[in-house]
C-alpha cells in the first residue's frame, strides 16, 4: 500500500513486516470532516459507544450550585468522551479533568488576580481507574495535590459499577476495558474511510424519515491523539497497516460479474450450433 500524506503515523513502521510493501493500492490520506446520515439502528449503536456521558457539572439536579458547609462551593470534576476508530474497531477514550487554583504568573493580569484556574487532566490509567473502580477517586485525587472533598463528581465516578440504561443486560463494570472496544465495520463502510473520530453521539431526529446526522473527523494523525496512551497494546496486538490495506482493497474491488447463458454453455465444452437443437 502506498500512502500519500503530509504526515507519518505509527502503523507505517509495520509496512516492511512481510517484506517490501506493494505500491498498490494507493491511499491518498487527507484529514478532514464529514457529516454522515444514518438510520436509527446505527444511531443507537453509535450512542452506545459512549460508556460515560460527557459531564461538566456545576449544578445539582435542582439547579443549585454544589455547596459544602466545610469548603463552600465545590469545583466540578469533568469527563470528556471521544471515540477513535481504526477499521474495524472503535475505541472509547474517557478524559477526566478538574480545575485547580494556582498562583497567577501572568504579568498582564497579576495585578487583577493573584490566582488562576488551570485544567488538570488525569493520566490515561487514572481516568480508566476512576471510572471503573469504586471510590478510587479518593486516592487518585491526592496524587494531583488536591483533596477529593473539595470537588463534586459525576455519578459515573461515584458509582462506577452502577448499570446505565444502555447496560441493562450486564453486571460488568461500566468502564471495563473490554467493553470499551467495539467491532463496528459497518460504521466505517458508511463513512467511507478507515480512520475516524468523533466527540459526541447523535441527538435529535434529522428529518421525518428518522435519519440522523453524525459529524466525524477522518484520517487524522493517530500518533497525536490519546489513542496510544489508552490502548498501547494496539502496536503489538494489531497489524494496523495490513488491516488498512485490506480495507482499501475491498473498497476498490471490481464486482464479480455473473456470466450470461452463452458463456456458461461454452465454458462447459458445448458448441452452441451443434450441441443443441430447437425443440
Predicted confidence band at 211 (pLDDT cuts at 50, 70, 90)? confident
Would the pLDDT of 18 be above 70? no
Query: Is the pLDDT assigned to residue 187 strictly greater than 90?
Result: yes
pLDDT in tens, 32-76: 999 988 888 899 899 889 888 666 555 454 444 455 555 556 778
- Contacts of 20-24 with C-beta under 8 Å, sequence gap 24+, read none
**Closest by Cα among 160, 158, 161 to 74:** 158
Task: Please tell me the pTM assigned to this model.
Answer: 0.77
What pairs with residue 32 in β-bridges? 218
SS3 93: strand
pLDDT for res 99: 85
C-alpha atoms less than 13 angstroms from C-alpha of 105 in its C-beta half-sphere: 2
Average pLDDT over residues 110-124: 81
Residue 120 scores a pLDDT above 50? yes
Amino acid at each position: 500500500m502506498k500512502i500519500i500524506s503530509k504526515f507519518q503515523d505509527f502503523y507505517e513502521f509495520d509496512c516492511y513486516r512481510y517484506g517490501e510493501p506493494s505500491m498498490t493500492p494507493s491511499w491518498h490520506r487527507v484529514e478532514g470532516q464529514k457529516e454522515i446520515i444514518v438510520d436509527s439502528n446505527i444511531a443507537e449503536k453509535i450512542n452506545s459507544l459512549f460508556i460515560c456521558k460527557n459531564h461538566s457539572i456545576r449544578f445539582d439536579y435542582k439547579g443549585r450550585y454544589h455547596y459544602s458547609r466545610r469548603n463552600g462551593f465545590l469545583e466540578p470534576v469533568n469527563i470528556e468522551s471521544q471515540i477513535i476508530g481504526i477499521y474495524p474497531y472503535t475505541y472509547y477514550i474517557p478524559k477526566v479533568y478538574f480545575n485547580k487554583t494556582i498562583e497567577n504568573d501572568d504579568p498582564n493580569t497579576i495585578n487583577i488576580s493573584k490566582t488562576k484556574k488551570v485544567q488538570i487532566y488525569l493520566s490515561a490509567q487514572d481516568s480508566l481507574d476512576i471510572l471503573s473502580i469504586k471510590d478510587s477517586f479518593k486516592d487518585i485525587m491526592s496524587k494531583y495535590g488536591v483533596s477529593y472533598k473539595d470537588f463534586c463528581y459525576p455519578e459515573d465516578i461515584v458509582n462506577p459499577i452502577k448499570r446505565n440504561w444502555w447496560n441493562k443486560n450486564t453486571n460488568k463494570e461500566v468502564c471495563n476495558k473490554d467493553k470499551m472496544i467495539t467491532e463496528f465495520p459497518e460504521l466505517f463502510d458508511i463513512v467511507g474511510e478507515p480512520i475516524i473520530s468523533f466527540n459526541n453521539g447523535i441527538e435529535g431526529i434529522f428529518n421525518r424519515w428518522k435519519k440522523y446526522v453524525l459529524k466525524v473527523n477522518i484520517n487524522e494523525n493517530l500518533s497525536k491523539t490519546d489513542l496510544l496512551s489508552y490502548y498501547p497494546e494496539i502496536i503489538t496486538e494489531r497489524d494496523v497497516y495490513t488491516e488498512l490495506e485490506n480495507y482499501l482493497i475491498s473498497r476498490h474491488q471490481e464486482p464479480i460479474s455473473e456470466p450470461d447463458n452463452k458463456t456458461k454453455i461454452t465454458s462447459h465444452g458445448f458448441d452452441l450450433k451443434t450441441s443443441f437443437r430447437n425443440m
